[in-house]
Amino acid sequence: MYYCFLDTPIGDLLLAGDEESLSLVAFPEGSMRRDPDPDWIYNEKPFAEARRQLTEYFAGSRKQFDLPLNLSGTEFQLLVLEELRRIPYGETVSYGDIAERIGRPAAVRAVGAANGRNPLPIIVPCHRVIGSGGDLTGFGGGLDAKEALLRLEAENSELMKSG
């Protein structure tokens, strides 16, 4: 597994994967904080496109990602991750909304758990999922990072509407 870091407004993100696809985006803080495994090899080259697209995202010029991803998880988790990818830039939905959309309306807690295990946050936009009352709920990078991502998208969505 290769890895590198990307300096962003929310801290240094750890990117990991192979020569073909991205497998992990990890935060510098929060419950999804992760350090590279000792046997991983530092190499920025496999992540050139991911770094470019993430930099564009943080600059407000990229609304969607087009990267080869290696998504892992159970069948249910993968179903949730695919639904997360359908949430439009600058919009939020609740865990209940996701449960409804995947045809499992009673699985709100399971959706929350799958959301929390997302190995590719930002790329698979789990930060766009909020509590049913509109409150920001847990986020692997910490609530400050979630708030920053939502604010970035809100500001750039407004620019798109007015520009």
Domains and CATH numbers, the chain: 2-59 (3.30.160), 75-162 (1.10.10.10)
Q: How confident is the prediction for the chain on average, in pLDDT?
A: 91
* Mean pLDDT value across residues 2-19: 96
N-terminal to C-terminal alpha carbon distance within the chain: 42
* Mean pLDDT value across residues 52-78: 95
Q: What percent of the chain has pLDDT over 90?
A: 77
Residue 32 has pLDDT above 80, yes or no: no
Q: Which residues are part of the catalytic machinery?
A: 126
Show the tokens assigned to 13: 């993100």
Which of these ranges, 33-42, 68-77, 99-108, 152-161, has the smallest mean pLDDT? Answer: 152-161
Supply the pTM of this predicted model: 0.91
Residue 55 has pLDDT above 80, yes or no: yes
Residue 139 has pLDDT above 80, yes or no: no
Residue 121 main-chain phi, psi, to 5 deg = -60, 155
Return the DSSP state at 36.
P
pLDDT of 87 reads 96
**Which tens digits make up the pLDDT trace of 67-100?**
999 998 999 999 999 999 999 999 999 999 999 9
pLDDT of 100 reads 96
CB neighbourhood size of 67 (10 A): 15
